[in-house]
Each structure stands twice: as structure tokens, then as C-alpha cells.
Structure 1
Amino acid sequence: MPQTIAFTKGHGTGNDFVIVADAEGELDLTDDQVAILCDRRFGIGGDGILRVVRASAISEGAEAVAAGAEWFMDYRNADGSIAEMCGNGIRVFMRYLDQAGWAVLADEPVLIGTRAGVKTLTRSERGIEVDLGAFRIEDAEVLVRAKGLAIARPGVGVDVGNPHVVVALSSREELEGLDLSAIPVLDPAPAAGANVEFVVPSDPLVVNGVGSLTMRVFERGVGETLSCGTGVAATALAVRHWAGPAAPDRWTVSVPGGELGVRVTPENHVLLSGPAALVYTGEITLA
């Protein structure tokens, strides 16, 4: 029987999402339903779906409940596949909670559960900041082949709760010449796949203690997106790793959808900050 559900459309620097409120965990969307909802011609359109569910109402929410987090971000990619985390998505999720009056982001931080652990969100001068937690730079090099690059390039693996491979390019022209309608090929290929970021450092790299980068991203399960929050963090961490001990802990990263901030704490946590907006609401009937 067809089912009508309410939704909200939101985005963070152009990384857009269909938000569905399901506080008690009663909605069971199939992969095909998610894909249709995210389809830009036959559905609402989005890079993924954010299901707003109480941590106590989802099987993966036990850690969040134990930490005192009321809400859990059930994030699905545009093809319906489950993702661990989304840096732009969780800021949009927080904006939704705040507007709905379900959690208020004021002087106190808000905890939100994800499949990559419990995340802490606070207000920042850029909008909303999320502590993505500890990160890991992988030791093994990955070769990346992409349409528009004459030869394979080395990439570094970065884990910020979900997997990334970051590739440095030599110029803005090379970055703009990429054709990311084709899936980049990774060798060796990670078992669970990875988001792939292509970055060009600014010249000069650092001004007034802040590093500056420009990147594009291919997200697994989605394709090229205007922005990827965890990818922005992973890119800053990769360039910081390449730059060595003198590298700064604050970064500004430009993506096609706007600009995001990254900072690294003495505890080796990486934090992402930027805007989040809700665009419109509506209802849609699912087959």
C-alpha cells in the first residue's frame, strides 16, 4: 500500500539531503525507496537521506544512549547503501533538530549518535561545528586512476570515521580537468570502498597560521558532490601530514559548494565547521 511521508530538504555547502523524521523508528525504507527519494528526476533529489530517529529506537543506538545522546543520525547514501558518517549531513541534522525544537544548540553542546560513534556539536563562527573524533592516517599508499589524469597518482588513506583516499594534484587546471562522472579506480581497492578527494594546495599554503586548500570529491554510493564534510576534514589532514611538523592545525577548504573550516586539537581530534540550511518541506507518496 502506498505510504505518504513528510520530508524536509536541507544542505551544507551544496551537499544536499532528504530529511525524514521517524522519532520512534517505525519507518523501514528499502534501498530502492531511498534511491528513488534521492533521484533528481524521479524523486526529491539529494546526495543521501538523513533519518531522524531516537537512539533508543534503533539497534545501532546503544552507544549513543549510554553516552546520553537522545538522537541518532541514520544516514544512507543516494543509492540506498548505509554510511558510517557524514560531516555536512550531521550539521544539517542538527539544524533540523534545532528548528523542530527537539534539541537546542545554545551554550551547551549537543550529542548525536552515528554509526561512527557519538559526535559533539557546538555553535561556531562558521555556523555549526562537529567534533569528528580521532582520525587515522593509513601507512599503505593507494594508486588512484581517474578520468582526466594521464597516469595513476598516489593517494593516502585517511579514516575519520569513514574511509577516504586523498590525492594531491599539481594545479587548479588539473583539478578542473577531472571527469568525475566516472568512478575513480583504487589499487588496492578497499573492501568497503572509499570516498576519493582530489586537492590542490594554495600558494602560499599558509597565511596567518591558517592553511588553504581547494578540492573536489567523488563520494562512494553517490558520485561527485558539491561538498563532502568528512572529505574536507580528510583532505586537510592529508595535506597537514604531507607538510610535516610545521604544518598548521587550522585549515580553510574550498569546495564547489562553498567553504568549510577544519581544525585539529592537541588530543588529535579533527573538527569540521560550516553552514547548514533547511530549504523546504513537503510530502511524498512511496510505492
Structure 2
Amino acid sequence: MTTFAKGHGTENDFVLLDDPDGRLDLTPELIRHLSDRRAGLGADGVIRVVRSAAAGQDAAGEWFMDYWNSDGSAAEMCGNGSRVFVAHLLRRGWITLDEGDEVLITTRGGVMPVKRRGDLFTIDLGAWRVAGGPAAVAAGSDVKVTFPGMPPLPGLSIALSNPHVVVALPDVEILEALDLTVAPIVEPAPPNGTNVEIVVPLHDQSVRSELGHLKMRVHERGSGETRSCGTGTVAAALAARAWGANLAPDHWRIDVLGGTLYVDTEGTASEGDSAKLSGPAVIVAEGELV
């Protein structure tokens, strides 16, 4: 029997499969079945919980977050999933983590520290960059993004563990009416696909504030529209920071469909060595696969 848990971070939900010794044969078919919201357990993604050594990962983090999208495709990592992953390790007793302590977790996007802060967890996603560099920052975009029933809109590509494209809209009504039942068309098309974040700034952009505020929706590659995307909120903050130039803050509140996340950034307008994501993690169920 394989034990599992179901958890979410701002309603971005996951099935976590316990496989500490690396014995589970995790196939795309099994991932799709588990993720199915009618025939399976229902999830935006599946995380195999396995020790790095057992997964063939030569890394500093003892535990490997083997993350898969609901369509059975592998992803570099998942910001919301990383917090749920650590909460699950704590619940299983596989790690201890006191207030202010951090644990290193291994992902396909690298080894990343996760710190406990009361009921929240903070992950440092490490180095990031605007994919098109300073030229894209100066232009404000490097791709065009088309949604159903709308003309092409400018988007800014952010390289941050996973690939992202961020699009800004002028008001919340347009954001709420946006059709994300089909994948947005990004041109030029990224070779490995991309997540697309759509944001509306809610803070006063005419003056520098301590805390930026965005409302966001997201279409994730391999999963469709989700209630939240952790790396996507960080990408959204980094894009808004690039667009805002000298008036843009380094600290951000991002409101997603499933709740609120916080982002702390540093670096130039086009690149940096650190971007931190803070938010909750909730385990809602445990069981055994039959």
C-alpha cells in the first residue's frame, strides 16, 4: 500500500505520495488518474515525497520534491507545492522545524531553503531574471499573448525555476471576465511551454509605496487555470517591479483566487539572486491508495 496526503497552498491543491525509499513506479497515467477530479482524488498536481538519494539526486537537500502537473508532465518545481511538501514532511515526522528554522529541499529547479514563520512558510526561489534582459525591461515586453475574444497583449517573460509570462490589464472587471478555459497563445511560442499570469495593480503606481498590491489569475502549463500559482505570484511581482522602475517596491501582496501570498524581491530591474514567497500550507486528508 502507498500512503498519501491531500493538501493545498491558497487552494492550489496536490496529492502527495509517500515514497521515501524510491520504490514507487510513478507513471503519467497514474498521475492523470490521481489528479482527475471525478475519477481520482482531484489535484492540480502530484508530488512524490522521496529522499534525494533514493531518487538519484546528488543534492544538499535530504528530500526531493518530485513534482508533476496534472496532465502527467514533469515541472521544475512548484512554489505552493513546496510549502505543502514541507508541511507534509513535518506531519509525517520526517523532519523537525522550529519557528525561524529552515530546511533545504531538492527540486528539479535546484535546492531551495524553506523557513517556518508561525503558520506560514517562506521559500527562497533563488536567482531570477527577465528572460529578454534589460532590452525587454526597457520595452516593457518581449512576447505577445492572445486570449479568446481579445487582441494580442504585450507580455514579459520571467525565468524563475519555471518559465512565466506576465500580462497586465487595466482593471479588475476585465481580469474577472477573461476566458482561461483554453490556454493563452504566446508568440513567439516558448519551447517548453509557459505559465501565464494576468495581473491588475491595486496600489497607487504614481508614488513609491512600501508594499505593492496585485490581483492575479493564472493559466498553468499542464494544469489549466488554477486557484493559485506560487512561482507565478513571484513572477508577477518581478514583472510589475520591472514595469514600475524607480517607483516599484520590493515587497508585494498578491491576491489570487484561493487567498493571499506575499513576495519579497531584490536585485536590479532585470535580474537578482533572491526572490522569496510566503504563504500558508494546509493538509486536509490522508489515506492509502488501493
| Structure 2 unaligned blocks of 5 or more | 137-141
Amino acid at match of 1:92: V
Alpha-carbon distance, 1:247 to partner:
1.4
- The reply on whether 1:17 has 2:14 as its aligned counterpart is yes
- The reply on whether 1:147 has 2:144 as its aligned counterpart is no
Amino acid at match of 1:88: N
Q: What's the counterpart of residue 68 of structure 2?
A: 76
Q: What's the counterpart of residue 108 of structure 1?
A: 101
Q: Where in structure 1 do 4 or more consecutive aligned residues deviate above 4 Å? A: 205-208
Contact 2:101 2:116 in 1 (8 A): no
Q: What's the counterpart of residue 124 of structure 2?
A: 131
Contact 1:126 1:261 in 2 (8 A): no
Q: What's the counterpart of residue 228 of structure 1?
A: 229
Q: What's the counterpart of residue 217 of structure 1?
A: 218
| Structure 1 unaligned blocks of 5 or more | none
Percent identity for Structure 1 against Structure 2: 50
Residues in 2 aligned to 1:199 and 1:126: alpha-carbon distance in whole angstroms: 27
Contact 2:196 2:218 in 1 (8 A): yes
Residues in 2 aligned to 1:111 and 1:276: alpha-carbon distance in whole angstroms: 17
Contact 1:127 1:275 in 2 (8 A): yes
Q: What's the counterpart of residue 264 of structure 1?
A: 265
Superposed CA offset, 1:222-276 (max 9, x none): 0000000000000000000100033111000000000000001456400000000
Superposed CA offset, 1:189-211 (max 9, x none): 00000000000001424785100
Amino acid at match of 1:15: N
Residues in 1 aligned to 2:182 and 2:103: alpha-carbon distance in whole angstroms: 38
TM-score under structure 2 normalisation? Answer: 0.92
Residues in 1 aligned to 2:93 and 2:288: alpha-carbon distance in whole angstroms: 20
Amino acid at match of 1:177: A
Q: What's the counterpart of residue 178 of structure 2?
A: 178
Residue aligned with 1:56, SS:
coil
Residues in 1 aligned to 2:36 and 2:283: alpha-carbon distance in whole angstroms: 19
Residues in 2 aligned to 1:160 and 1:25: alpha-carbon distance in whole angstroms: 28
Alpha-carbon distance, 1:126 to partner:
6.1
Alpha-carbon distance, 1:95 to partner:
0.2
Amino acid at match of 1:31: P
Bigger fraction of residues in strand = 1
- Closer, same or farther in 2 for the Cα pair 1:165/1:83, shift >3 Å? same
Matches within 5 A, 1:190-201: 190-201=190-201
Amino acid at match of 1:76: W
Matches within 5 A, 1:23-34: 23-34=20-31
Residue aligned with 1:40, SS:
coil
Q: How many aligned residue pairs are there? A: 276
Contact 1:229 1:272 in 2 (8 A): yes
Alpha-carbon distance, 1:125 to partner:
5.4
- The reply on whether 1:274 has 2:289 as its aligned counterpart is no
TM-score under structure 1 normalisation? Answer: 0.93
CA RMSD of aligned residues (A): 1.4
Superposed CA offset, 1:125-174 (max 9, x none): 560000000101022511000124x2110100001111000000111011
